[in-house]
Amino acid sequence: MTAPAMTAMLLQAAPASSPLYSIGMMVALFAIFYFLLIRPQQKRAKDHRGMVDGVKRGDSVVTGGGLIGKVAKVNENEVQIDLAEGVRVTAVKATLQDVRSKTAPKPANDVKSSAKK
């Protein structure tokens, strides 16, 4: 059987395009978009908002531009970040990409040194 003949058979077997079928397909498509795109994005935004709201003095942060520093002062919408000795910048809280708490444990970088102990 040739490809055009197969296509013709599939088109004949397709359900009639009734308004109920069209509405059902639109609802199914919206549900797929909601669970695969919209809901995960809303969850990420909520997690980021909570992380940014919880920033406090002494935390190590990463800005949207990739700068890493310690938080010196926290205002309602802004944070002052110490990047180096005598270098302090002000950043908008929403532009923070990551907040690393000062109480977070350091990752083990060298497996050999811990094995020797």
Where residue 87 sits, what CATH number does that domain have?
2.30.30
**pLDDT, mean of residues 26-40:** 93
| 17 alpha carbon, distance to own chain's centre | 39
Q: What pTM was computed for the model?
A: 0.62
User: Which H or E run contains 60?
Assistant: strand 60-63
Give the pair of three-digit tokens for residue 70: 């310690």
The residues facing 84 across adjacent strands are: 87
**pLDDT band for position 21 (cuts 50, 70, 90):** confident
* Domains contained in the chain, number: 1
Give the pair of three-digit tokens for residue 51: 């992380």
Domain assignment present for 86: yes
93, 79 Cβ separation under 8 angstroms: yes
90, 79 Cβ separation under 8 angstroms: yes
Domain assignment present for 95: yes
Which residues span the domain enclosing 95?
54-100
